[in-house]
Amino acid sequence: MVLTIYAPLFASSKRAVVTLVEKGVEFESVNVDLLKGEQRQPEYIAIQPFGKIPVLVDGDYKIFESRAIMRYIAEKYRSQGPDLLGKTIEERGQVEQWLDVEATSYHPPLLALTLNIVFAPLMGFPADEKVIKESEEKLGEVLDVYEAQLSKNEYLAGDFVSLADLAHLPFTEYLVGAIGKAYMIKDRKHVSAWWDKISNRAAWKEVSEKYALPV
């Protein structure tokens, strides 16, 4: 049974897509046009009641929320590809910890920057300069913690690449690209080295090329 991932072009979905590629899992994709409101159509609501992306369908099993999908893929296909969950309970704890950090501390200010700098102009809305300033400050504080962590370990959860690292890829690509704030990464020696390593992984290069950002 081939897995199906919905809306692979969008950043949040790419967390799931890069995990599939890293693990060498065969899958097919279904595009969802958010601007046309396809995520609010009854057939989509039937598999994602909140009308959000992404969704993974595995036979009769359905799962949504990008980080939950990442965990599901990494656990189900643990015996193939790199072990993205850690080899011990202690390593798994660190992976889960930094996944939560990405979701609760790193992602919110970066999402605010993405919405105000990248998407607001495209949709004809004025950018909120106050939110941009505050979000950059918050993200900078988080990245300072990352710099300290990455001075001790090659990757966030230890000296092995994990889901915690992969979860950062899609929106950090916005940060160093369309948002125009690559200095936030490059000005931090250890964060910059970490970003260079994870963004140059073959799986991410494949995802970036095959599922180009819509903006």
Handedness of CA 151, 97, 197, 146 (dihedral sign): negative
Residues of the chain falling short of pLDDT 70: 213-215
Predicted local distance difference test score (pLDDT) of residue 212:
83
pTM as predicted: 0.95
pLDDT given at position 13: 96
How far is 4 from 6, CA to CA, in rounded Å? 7
pLDDT of residue 214: 54
Q: What is the pLDDT of residue 124?
A: 86
Burial class for 152, CB neighbours closer than 10 Å (0-12, 13-18, 19+): exposed
Q: pLDDT tens digits for 163-180?
A: 999 999 999 999 999 999
Token pair 């969008």 is at which residue? 10
204: phi > 0 → left, psi -120 to 50 → alpha, else beta; which?
Answer: alpha
